Amino acid sequence: MRASVISENVREVLLTAEQIKDRIAELARDIERDYEGRKPLLIGVLKGAVMVVSDLARELQIDLEMDWMAVSSYGSGTVSSGVVRILKDLDTDLSGRDVLIVEDIIDSGLTLSWLKQNLESRGAASVQICTLLRKPERLKVDVPVRYIGFDVPNEFVVGYGLDHDERYRNLSDVVVLKPSAFGGSDDEISGPVEPARKVV
């Protein structure tokens, strides 16, 4: 990683910018094949998915549209409550549309499960999900995800759109922070972080 004032808070790089770029290109080939002859509506979930949507959309060599939604699933902590509020709604009428929700990460799955049902109830012809990252250990609900980049360990990750308290979104890599970045002690570190795994 390039040296920066925030890199001193990084404990481990889970996915490099290059690994992310390569995987997004692979997902784009799958999506192009599945949506051939249609014009999907990519729905980016703000703010974390901004980088994924921006790179995925430019990689996709098909006709598409983009729209954005902001939802809030967390109270104050880092644990999903399952209570979802729409903070910014779509501008697009979904009737008959092929919707592809694009997310940064699925943790409990509660947010996406709610969102998928919400978009289906608006008359979309199809609603599929693409996520760059998934934490398989944490899934609480069974939500079908068609396109998945990587499985990551049960650690709080930041970078490539993902934040901690609005910081670190601009990192090109996906990383795990040191405990000291959360106000803890770095003496707590016991061993290396498990690697991320491409989902095949």
Nearer to ligand 5GP, 117 or 123 (CB): 117
Contact window for Mg ion (CB under 5 A) among 3-11, 30-38, 43-51, 85-93? 43-51
Which residues in this chain contact ligand 5GP in the complex, by CB under 6 A? 48, 73, 80, 103-111, 156-158, 162-164
Q: Which does 108 bind (CB under 5 to 8 A by kind): Mg ion, ligand 5GP, none?
A: ligand 5GP
Q: Which of 31, 45, 100, 130 binds Mg ion (CB under 5 A)?
A: 45
Q: Which does 80 bind (CB under 5 to 8 A by kind): ligand 5GP, Mg ion, none?
A: ligand 5GP
48 binds Mg ion (CB under 5 A): yes
Nearer to ligand 5GP, 114 or 126 (CB): 114
Q: Which of 28, 51, 104, 133 binds Mg ion (CB under 5 A)?
A: 104
Least Å from the CB of residue 106 to ligand 5GP:
5
What is the Cα–Cα distance from 117 to 43, expressed in whole angstroms?
A: 14
Listed residue (103, 16, 90, 26) closest to 60, CA to CA? 26
Where in the sequence numbering do the catalytic residues fall? 107
Query: Contact 17/52 with Cβ under 8 angstroms?
Result: no
81 exposure class (CB count in 10 Å sphere: 0-12, 13-18, 19+): middle
Nearer to ligand 5GP, 106 or 148 (CB): 106
Least Å from the CB of residue 106 to Mg ion:
8
Nearer to Mg ion, 43 or 45 (CB): 45
Q: Is the peptide bond before 47 cis (omega within 30 degrees of 0)?
A: yes
Query: Contact 152/131 with Cβ under 8 angstroms?
Result: no
What is the Cα–Cα distance from 32 to 29, expressed in whole angstroms?
A: 5
- Structure tokens that stand for 13 in this block: 């790089």
Please report, to the nearest 10 degrees, the dihedral formed by the alpha carbons of residues 166, 157, 68, 31 taken in order.
160
What is the Cα–Cα distance from 68 to 42, expressed in whole angstroms?
A: 8
Q: Which does 73 bind (CB under 5 to 8 A by kind): Mg ion, ligand 5GP, none?
A: ligand 5GP
By CB under 5 A, name the binding residues for Mg ion. Answer: 45, 48, 103-104, 163
